[in-house]
Amino acid sequence: MKKALSLLLTTACLLVATPSVHAATGFLKIHMISAGDARSDCFLIELPDNTKMVVDVADGDSTTLINKLNALGFGGGIKYLCGTHEHVDHIGGMDEFLNSGFNINNTQIYYPKGAINADGAHYLNLAAACNRRGLAIKKLIAGDYIINTTFNGLAFKVRCISPENSTVDGGSNDWGSENEASLVLKITYGSKSILMQGDAYGSTELSILAGPYAGEINSCQVLKVGHHGVNANGALSCREAYLDAAGVTKALITDGNLAIDPTIVSRLQARSIHYWSSGAGDGYAWLSTDGTSNWVEGEAPQWP
């Protein structure tokens, strides 16, 4: 009996002394939450200071996101909530997520500047949900920072690199579609970065490369592929110049039950870029880095 009690006490002490994996800081980790047949975007990003960011919550993804947050032990809340543009497969479930009462511990929601993404039903639903929660929507343009600091002596930044001010609200080269005007974010920790580009495809990629923030594309090893890796009325993401400028080595693709466009597949495979698809396996995947070491893959990629 005494031995059993001693063993129990020892085990209890070890449990208390062992830090929770979810309390650890110093890692940048991206989770692709969207899964199944739906072509939709929903990403959870663990930031190195132990705060959490969500980029897009598509229609139908709110419950999946909340379940995943709870399963990961992240009930403490989301500090940054970003919507990339006015489409149901990106922000159609964001109002439901806000209405759920889940802790959003920030006063601002982030969204691209521009009238083209601010007059649709899904945006208006988001705005109404924000108003009910007392949250403001901050409209971003290229050059704006959400975060611009350091952590553990390493650069720690989240910066908007599109849309440029000249491409919104009647500018000289104003975008003609919500997709092109998507919020594009660069998330950096140390020498490692992620490009989150909503539904932005080739025209936006080339605009970024030709614009004042082209240098931000350098050293972005992880790419959230624009427009689900599928053809958008002839338009494609993953321009070769863009992939090469960034030095992409890993890609996340939210194609659901749609086939990834063969041209995009060819471009990725020609560069030996590992990629994961929301329509493959259970659709969930994650990548993680300490800001210095190479990215760790949570599971084997769809290719190679």
Cα(117)–Cα(203) distance, rounded to whole angstroms? Answer: 17
CA distance to 3, 179, 201, 214, 232, per residue, from 235 (Å) = 70, 10, 7, 21, 5
What pLDDT shows up at residue 289?
Answer: 98
Residue ranges of the domains in the chain?
A: 22-297
What pLDDT shows up at residue 172?
Answer: 86
What pLDDT shows up at residue 38?
Answer: 78
Gyration radius (Cα) of the chain, Å: 20
Hey, what are 81's tokens? 């909530």
Q: Which amino acid is at 147?
A: I
Of 119, 22, 35, the closest CA to residue 74 belongs to: 22
What pLDDT shows up at residue 76?
Answer: 84
What pLDDT shows up at residue 173?
Answer: 87
Helix (H) or strand (E) holding 125: helix 121-133
Q: What is the mean pLDDT of the chain?
A: 91
pLDDT tens, N- to C-terminus, the chain (304 residues): 333 333 333 333 333 333 333 444 699 999 999 877 779 999 999 999 999 999 999 999 999 999 999 999 998 899 999 999 999 999 999 999 999 989 999 999 999 999 999 999 999 999 999 999 999 999 999 999 999 999 999 999 999 999 999 999 998 889 989 999 999 999 999 999 999 999 999 999 999 999 999 999 999 999 999 999 999 989 999 999 999 999 999 999 999 999 999 999 999 999 999 999 999 989 999 999 999 999 999 999 999 9
CA distance to 5, 6, 20, per residue, from 9 (Å) = 6, 5, 19
Contacts within 8 Å (CB) and 24+ apart, 188-191: 188/155, 188/156, 188/157, 188/158, 188/159, 189/28, 189/47, 189/48, 189/151, 189/154, 189/155, 189/156, 189/289, 189/291, 190/154, 190/155, 190/289, 190/290, 190/291, 190/292, 191/219, 191/291, 191/292
What pLDDT shows up at residue 35?
Answer: 72
Beta strand 285-289 with 28-32 is antiparallel
The CATH number assigned to the domain with range 22-297 reads 3.60.15.10
Sheet containing strand 154-162, edge to edge, reads: 145-151, 154-162, 184-189, 192-196, 222-224, 250-253, 274-277
What pTM value is reported for the model?
Answer: 0.91
What residue has token string 């471009």?
267
pLDDT single digits (tens) 142-163: 999 999 999 999 999 999 999 9
DSSP code for 104: B
